[in-house]
Amino acid sequence: MSTATQIPANQHVPTQRLPAMVEWIADLGAVVMDGIIGLGNISTFSLRTFGWLFARLPRRETLIPAFYQIGVLSLPVVALTGTFIGMVLVEQSYVQFRNLHMEAKLGAVINMSLVRELGPVLAATMLAGRVGSAMAAELGTMRVTEQIDALTTMGANPIHYLVVPRFLGCLLLIPALTIMADFMGVVGALFYAVSLLGIDFHHYVENSQHFVGYFDMFAGVFKSLFFGAAIALIACYRGFHCDPGAEGVGRAATAAFVYSFVMILLLDLLLGIALNGLYFSLWPEAPKLF
């Protein structure tokens, strides 16, 4: 009897699992398809932006407000975060270096981290948070209230009129923001190290000069160009493809920041690998810290 009851039970399990599995595969397929379609859409959107960028420059009346919003209004927050991150880096690293009696080398490590990594990434993160979300929300509201359709009906191309100025603003001004973050970080770190922790000024600066070169500055600024382009394209794309209603606009603003941040980190890794490869092929005898 027990055998007889077990057999149907064993047979029953796969027949129930099969539809669930099919459903799971279908869901997975839908997610993959959505991902591929989204990737295709943002690629087309980016290509159209590049096409308009080279076809005709936007008017001054659209460029100046975008540049002011993206560059000028972002400067204070970028400078402030740069200063603090420089000081925090010194504070966190100081004890370890002091235990090795190498406090004077601190400047080299801090400034290298700032110029190559933290400056560009911080400036880009601030830009994604402050400007990227705002751009997605603004363009999303324009989409929801048919203002983008209105532009089209009046014979103005929305990509040329709305996206290109924002793209140019992010692309051309993020290097300046990065340099500002670098500078304020270096100054903040120097102030904290010399004034508050009593590290010798001369040795701190000499080590920094010896270890951090023009290529490091270039690498940070070069990376920032890619970050700026990614932030503008992702934010504008999310705004243009915003779902209806206030919830849709909110989701577009959040998604713009999240996707931009992930893209910044991914690009940072890939460009970091590529630039390190280039550096060591150009200068095999790089200066060594120890």
Q: Which residues bind other proteins (CB under 8 A)?
A: 65, 141-142, 145-147, 149-150, 152-157
Burial of 9 (0-12, 13-18, 19+ CB in 10 A): exposed
Nearer to other proteins, 157 or 254 (CB): 157
Burial of 21 (0-12, 13-18, 19+ CB in 10 A): exposed
Q: Do the Cβ atoms of 180 and 123 come closer than 8 Å?
A: yes
What type of residue is 254?
A: T
Q: Which two tokens stand for residue 127?
A: 């830009």
Name the helix (H) or strand (E) containing 6: helix 2-55
Cα–Cα dist 165/210, whole Å: 40
Cα–Cα dist 230/267, whole Å: 9
Supply the minimum distance, in Å, between the C-beta of residue 34 and other proteins: 12
Return the DSSP state at 72. I
**Unique residue bearing structure tokens 């600066």:** 205
Supply the minimum distance, in Å, between the C-beta of residue 172 and other proteins: 21
Q: Is 146 left (phi over 0), alpha (psi -120 to 50) or beta?
A: left
Nearer to other proteins, 245 or 287 (CB): 245
Nearer to other proteins, 156 or 205 (CB): 156
Supply the minimum distance, in Å, between the C-beta of residue 155 and other proteins: 5
Phi, psi of 156 (to 5 degrees): -110, 130
3-state secondary structure of 211: helix
Supply the minimum distance, in Å, between the C-beta of residue 194 and other proteins: 47
Residues 6+ apart with CB under 8 A from 135: 166, 232, 235, 236, 239, 256
Supply the minimum distance, in Å, between the C-beta of residue 174 and other proteins: 23
Nearer to other proteins, 134 or 179 (CB): 134
Nearer to other proteins, 149 or 200 (CB): 149
Cα–Cα dist 120/253, whole Å: 22
Supply the minimum distance, in Å, between the C-beta of residue 269 and other proteins: 36
Nearer to other proteins, 69 or 83 (CB): 69
Nearer to other proteins, 142 or 164 (CB): 142
Supply the minimum distance, in Å, between the C-beta of residue 50 and other proteins: 15
